[in-house]
Structure 1
Amino acid sequence: MTSYAVFLRGINVGGVTIKMADLRNALAPRPFTGVKTLLASGNVVLTSSLDQAGVKDEFESCLRAAFGYDAWVVVLTAARVAELAAACPYPADDASTHTYMTLTSAPETLDELQAAATAAGGTDLTRLGPEALAWLAPAGGTLDSPFGRISAKPKYKAFTTTRNLRTLVKVRDAAAALEGLQ
């Protein structure tokens, strides 16, 4: 069994509302154990004997069947979440900026986003691996930041999701606790 973090894209915003209790109930018959939801923004930790691609396929299938929307998730192993959180060069809390991590299930999409952000300028960003890009946004101006505007384009929504570093640390800690129970 492997522990995973699953990051849902676009729930509890834009008309797609899913209660975390309903999500846990929908996942109950699936090949997942130890399912725990964190916050209402679509962060889940679980264990499964499926590989990473299998967890993604099964999870998206569950969301589509149970909640009737075109669902996308990014799945990372618990170990990878810990590595990414440790590798982030930006502070988790800062009065003037917020640290975000954009995660992807398609590295070529992150390549494109990184190139567009670099060309546009105005965003401090660091590539942490094929599936993650850390970046800074001014406090209160995340959506209006250059990278925020670029990454919000509809063509990226099936492949990316963004979390602030504080959330990623909470997911890391929950996944580590789950690992300890195995």
Structure 2
Amino acid sequence: MTRYVALLGSINVGGNRLKMADLRDALEREDFADVETVVASGNVLFSHEERPSDGLGEKIAHVVKDRFGFGTFAAVRSRDELAAAVADNPFAHDGEPKQVHTLFLAEPLDVKAFEAFAENYEGPERLAAGTREIFVDFCAGVGDSKLGQAMNKAKVGGRATARNINSLRRILDKMG
């Protein structure tokens, strides 16, 4: 069995309220083992037979839709993949940890489109491309950022869910 984390988008924001105990129970009924959650924002650790993470993400999204009635997206990463996403974040060492985020993408990043966007983006954020991630330092704060709107308008990145570097380090610690 391989240990994974699922980072769910749109959980406990807006009207998508979900008790983590209910989510754990639903996943355990679908052959996910050793299920535990980290904070109440859709971070789920679990063990599963090794399988492509995209398929596991689709399975989790289906369970949430079927059991709880709302759509979500789950970025699933193995411990090694999550550790690489933390290590590869170029802002993790000099940015404010609460402001340094990794945006986990549903699909691989179109690096050329992202680089064109980043070159022309006029916001205060620092941006860098990963493979299935975008690294962001929200140096002027997350709350007032216009980055998400600008990325949506430019159709860069696609479906994503973000976590700050502190949360990712906490999840890695729990993964062992």
Shorter-chain TM-score above 0.5 = yes
Higher helix share: 1
Aligned equivalent of 1:180 = none
The answer for unaligned runs of 5 or more in structure 2 is none
Structure 1 outlier segments of 4+, above 6 Å: 155-158
- 1:55-66 matches, within 5 Å, as 55-66=56-67
Moved more, 49-58 or 60-69: 49-58
**Cα offset, 1:99, TM superposition:** 0.4
Letter in structure 2 aligned against 1:41: S
- For residue 127 of structure 2, the aligned residue among 125, 128, 132 is 125
Query: In 2, distance between residues paired with 1:131 and 1:114?
Result: 14
Number of residue pairs the alignment of both structures matches: 173
Q: Considering only aligned residues, what root-mean-square deviation do their CA atoms show, in Å?
A: 2.6
Q: 1:6 and 1:95, CA in 2 relative to 1: closer, same or farther beyond 3 A?
A: closer
Report the Cα offset of residue 35 of structure 1. 0.8
Q: How does 1:24-173 map to 2 (within 5 A)?
A: 24-51=24-51, 52-91=53-92, 98-108=99-109, 112-113=113-114, 115-122=116-123, 123-127=125-129, 129-139=130-140, 141-151=141-151, 159-173=159-173
> Aligned partners of 1:35, 1:157: CA distance in 2, in Å?
29
* Cα distance in 2 for residues equivalent to 1:100 and 1:94: 10
TM-score (norm. length: structure 1): 0.82
Letter paired with 1:132? E
Structure 1 residues 117 and 65: CA distance shift in structure 2, 3 A:
same
Q: Which amino acid letter does the alignment assign opposite residue 91 of structure 1?
A: A
d(CA) in 1 for partners of 2:60, 2:146: 32
TM-score by length of 2: 0.84
Would you say the 8 A contact 2:110–2:157 is kept in 1? no
Could you tell me which amino acid in structure 2 is paired with residue 121 of structure 1?
A: E
- Percent of pairs with identical residues: 29
